Amino acid sequence: MKILVTGGAGFIGSAVVRHIINNTQDSVINVDKLTYAGNLESLSSIESNERYVFEQVDICDRAELDRVFAQCNPDAVMHLAAESHVDRSITGPADFIQTNIVGTYTLLEATRAYWNTLSEDAKKAFRFHHISTDEVYGDLPHPDDIEGGTEPSANKPLPLFTESTSYEPSSPYSASKASSDHLVRAWLRTYGLPTIVTNCSNNYGPYHFPEKLIPLVILNALEGKPLPIYGKGDQIRDWLYVEDHARALYKVVTEGVVGETYNIGGHNEKQNLEVVQTICSILDSLVPKEAQYKEQITYVTDRPGHDRRYAIDSSKMQRELGWTPVETFETGLKKTIQWYLTNQEWCQHVQDGSYQRERLGVESLTTKEEV
Ligand SMILES: NC(=O)c1ccc[n+]([C@@H]2O[C@H](COP(=O)([O-])OP(=O)(O)OC[C@H]3O[C@@H](n4cnc5c(N)ncnc54)[C@H](O)[C@@H]3O)[C@@H](O)[C@H]2O)c1
């Protein structure tokens, strides 16, 4: 197959590209605008492979997309390009509307025009795989919200997001992703474009831009800086190692059923504070110093509209496509920390001076425009 991957220089996109080049005979056309979050260094291990091509293109640019489709004749699109950081979406939602909604619309139209030129067999075999997030579902009840504060039991487990959970996005980021999911499903229903949607929980792993919780905490800890905890740190996320996600996505694009949605998650529900404390104790053993890293933990004002709990039921992926994650949270986190310890150069290069791990997404609420 020739797979056109959008956002292939980002965190998850680069894991998908490395997975395809290293583990299959397929070719990849990586279409990426190279925003602050896109880094070609994340692809240095495969960039000279003859099955890999890079195109620096904005997915909002229809003429350039038409050129790439005509030149490359892909058999499938895996659409990961997006603005992806919730705090940035609070500070400046415009880029999220542009790339996540207008960009997805433009890509769908370019794909449809190309798809209409294919033979009937090629049309049937073609796939448009839209990669989305569990944040479109809003948030789930938290154990603390249960009456009387009782712990969930085997008889009364807490609910999980399933493929039929209704959409209730909370942030400009998740609302823009929800919009893009609706557009993708409408292009199947209205035009017959063979689409599939996946919604995944929080990813972590190597090559993660250090604005997100896990890499930010690792790097701040090593530099002796404060480790910011939003609110009480009791927000729950369901963590998945990025290479497990990449494997899942390849399975979906090659074996998934058109029109279906697949939820992908790691069955690793952790409170943010617990994640940070675990990173601190792993660092205590790997890079010991006089004081314990957890002493750097600092509580800061919570994120506006912060979702309390996400958790994914990924049993459909297991049942229908035979996918399960390989890494536990403990093994994945150790690998991730080791990676950051040995790839300080990558960390320095991606923080090009425009972002210094400062807090985003709260100060703007005090301005008239955002309130
Ligand atoms: N990170 C997570 O935990 C997570 C979880 C579930 C789903 N997702 C989804 O997976 C996808 C990838 O997430 P990520 O964490 O790798 O994001 P990322 O921010 O690391 O990377 C996004 C990539 O898209 C590119 N891009 C941005 N705007 C573009 C445009 N207009 N045209 C072309 N390229 C553009 C960037 O240059 C970058 O390479 C996103 O759609 C995101 O919503 C992410």
Query: Residues 4-48: pLDDT tens digits?
Result: 999 999 999 999 999 999 999 999 999 999 999 999 999 999 999
pLDDT band per the 50, 70, 90 thresholds, residue 146? confident
User: Which member of 32, 87, 134, 243 is catalytic?
Assistant: 134
* Residue 33 CB less than 6 A away from ligand 1: yes
Domain ranges of the chain: 2-209+239-270+309-328
Q: Is-catalytic flag, 134? A: yes
pLDDT band per the 50, 70, 90 thresholds, residue 155? low
Task: Report how far ligand 1's centroid is from the alpha carbon of 10 (Å).
Answer: 6
* Residue 332 CB less than 6 A away from ligand 1: no
pTM beyond cutoff 0.75: yes
Instruction: Pick the atom of ligand 1 nearest to 202's CA.
Output: 3
Task: Report how far ligand 1's centroid is from the alpha carbon of 80 (Å).
Answer: 5
Q: How far apart are CA 221 and CA 340, in angstroms?
A: 12
Residue 199: pLDDT above 70?
yes
* Residue 34 CB less than 6 A away from ligand 1: yes
Instruction: Write down the pLDDT at residue 365.
Output: 53
* Residue 266 CB less than 6 A away from ligand 1: no
* Residue 37 CB less than 6 A away from ligand 1: yes
User: Which member of 173, 250, 293, 310 is catalytic?
Assistant: 173
Task: Report how far ligand 1's centroid is from the alpha carbon of 337 (Å).
Answer: 22
Average pLDDT, the chain: 94
Q: Helices 242-255 and 11-23 sit at what angle, rounded to 10 degrees?
A: 60
Q: Is-catalytic flag, 191? A: no
Instruction: Write down the pLDDT at residue 332.
Output: 97
pLDDT band per the 50, 70, 90 thresholds, residue 369? very low
* Residue 256 CB less than 6 A away from ligand 1: no
Arch. (CATH architecture) of 2-209+239-270+309-328: 3-Layer(aba) Sandwich (3.40)
Q: Is-catalytic flag, 135? A: yes
